[in-house]
Structures are given as structure tokens and as C-alpha cells.
Amino acid sequence: MPELPEVENVRATLAELVIGRTIEQVTIGVPKMIHGVDSQQFAYNLIGEKFVDIRRRGKFLLLDTTNYTILSHLRMEGKYRLTLDEEEKSKHTHVVFQLDGGQQLRYLDVRKFGTMEMVPLGQEETTRAIKKLGPEPFGEDFQLDVFAKALSRSTRGIKNVLLDQKAVVGLGNIYVDEVCYVAKVNPIKPSNELNQTEVKRLYDATRSILTEAVKLGGSTIRTYVNSQGKIGNYQEKLVVYGHKGEPCPQCGTEIEKIQYHGRGTHYCPACQPLLRK
């Protein structure tokens, strides 16, 4: 699933392609992807609308048109592509925005898990999905004391707390493993047992890792590409994720992979020992 660095790169590249373009028609092949309004109403509302901004909140893309905001979640395999009208459609193309100038913005999704929800322009904070999100890792609201308080309230393993998008948004399975490694915190350690030093290391690692991952275009593990079809490069920087059985670059201990609440979880047992209170 695309995490914050990947979604941010999709946002930036998509903005370059469609801001200022007028929507002439919308074709929806999989109506279940459309939320908030009926799929036919969704398509009708967008006729004549112009893309005015492309924003991001957590892992959601916010596509602003003249009068509406579309909350788009890519889920596992969602992608946007700008094509010429005559270009042959992939069988995985499920939503087509016909634009002025003989081009189409196409949404492709192999698994059909992605969603689009329409709300009045700028009212995304009224939706259930956005209301529950925590602070952005690069925003002023992401303060160490607030982060520490959020972590102290849960007895769950720190990995699960970081994944639920309430303490901070944007982290998924890849970057949580990397953050915990850099912070020297065992990913299954109960969140409320973290000491101040560990919390500070997690806070700093979240910001530094996500910042670098955004700059490098995100991580292409399987099929991720941005809206211009370019792969990411941060996968070359991953230290533990995907490196089961390889030596830890810090101590040489073999990286382990376990299943934790149904998720593959990578860590160094020497650098990230499970020390309990």
C-alpha cells in the first residue's frame, strides 16, 4: 500500500499534470469505488469542473475542483495516469476523467480496492475518514509532547499504534519497521512502556525517514509509480524491511521477520531487544 512518501509524490506529480484542466466527462466502470454520492451523481457533478488543487491528508489524495473535493485513497494498487484519448485502455482502468485538450486522467487499480469520496470543496474534515486522523508528521501539530501522550495511552505494541494513523499519519508497514529500527525500539513493545528517550527517537526517526523518502520519490517494492510513471528510489535505503536473514548494518546480527497481528515485521533482535518494565 502506498504510504505517505508515495502518496505525496503522486500528489506532486498529479498537480503538475491536471491543475487548471477542465473535466468534460467522467466514466465510472466500478461504481462501488465511489462514496459519498451515487456514482452517476458523482460523474454529473464533475462535468465542467476544473481541477484547482491537489492536496494530501495522511494517505488520502484530495483532488479539489471548482466546487468539490474528491478524497481518493489508493489502497494497495491504485494509480493515476494522464493519457491521450486514443491510447488503449488497460483492463484495470476503472475511472476516466475526460479532460479538455484531448487527454484523459485515468484511475487504474488491479485489486479494485481504491475509493473516491465526493464532498463540497474544502469540507473533507467533515468526513469520517479524515476526522479520525492524527497530525501530519511535517506539520506544526506534530509536537513531541502530544506524540508522547498519544503513545502513553495505549497498551498495544508500538507498531500497531503507529499504523493506526491517530498518533501521526502516513506510516505503513514499510516505514514503521524502518522507524522502529532507527529508534532502536522493538516493534512489539507495548506503547505505554516506552521511556522518554525511546519516544523522542521515534519522533525524530518518523520525521527524518519520511522526509528523505519523499525526496527520493518513495519506495517501489512491487508496482508503485508516481503519476508520471516513475518509480521511487527509497527502497535502496531500506535497512530492515525486506532484508530478512541479512546482517544488521549496525551490529551484524541477522535481521528477523516475524508475523505480528498479521503483518510481516522486520527488526534486529540485538539492536531492538524487547526490554519490558
The set of catalytic residues is: 2-3, 59, 263
Give the DSSP letter of residue 254: B
* Cβ neighbours for 85, distance < 8 A, ≥ 6 positions apart: 98, 102, 103, 104
The pairing of beta strand 60-65 with beta strand 51-57: antiparallel
111 annotated binding-site participant: yes
Q: What is the pLDDT of residues 169-222, one digit of tens each?
A: 999 999 999 999 999 999 999 999 999 999 999 999 999 999 999 999 999 988
Position 39 scores a pLDDT of: 98
Q: For 144-267, give the CATH class.
A: mainly alpha
171: three-class secondary structure by DSSP: coil
The dotted CATH code for 4-131 is 3.20.190.10
Position 17 scores a pLDDT of: 97
Q: Alpha-carbon distance 30 to 166, whole Å?
A: 30
* pTM confidence score: 0.95
11 annotated binding-site participant: no
Q: Alpha-carbon distance 118 to 46, whole Å?
A: 10
Ranges in the chain annotated CATH 1.10.8.50: 144-267
Residue 63: Cβ within 10 Å count: 26
CA 174 to chain centre: 11
Residues in the chain: 277
The x, y and z cell numbers of residue 88, run together, are: 488503449
Per-residue pLDDT in tens (0 to 9) along the chain, 277 residues: 799 999 999 999 999 999 999 999 999 999 999 999 999 999 999 999 999 999 999 999 999 999 999 999 999 999 999 999 999 999 999 999 999 999 999 999 999 999 999 999 999 999 999 999 999 999 999 999 999 999 999 999 999 999 999 999 999 999 999 999 999 999 999 999 999 999 999 999 999 999 999 999 999 988 899 999 999 999 999 999 999 999 999 999 999 999 999 999 999 999 999 876 5
Give the containing element (helix H, strand E) for 116: strand 115-120
Position 275 scores a pLDDT of: 74
Position 245 scores a pLDDT of: 98
Ranges in the chain annotated CATH 3.20.190.10: 4-131
Position 231 scores a pLDDT of: 94
Q: What is the pLDDT of residues 223-241, one digit of tens each?
A: 899 999 999 999 999 999 9
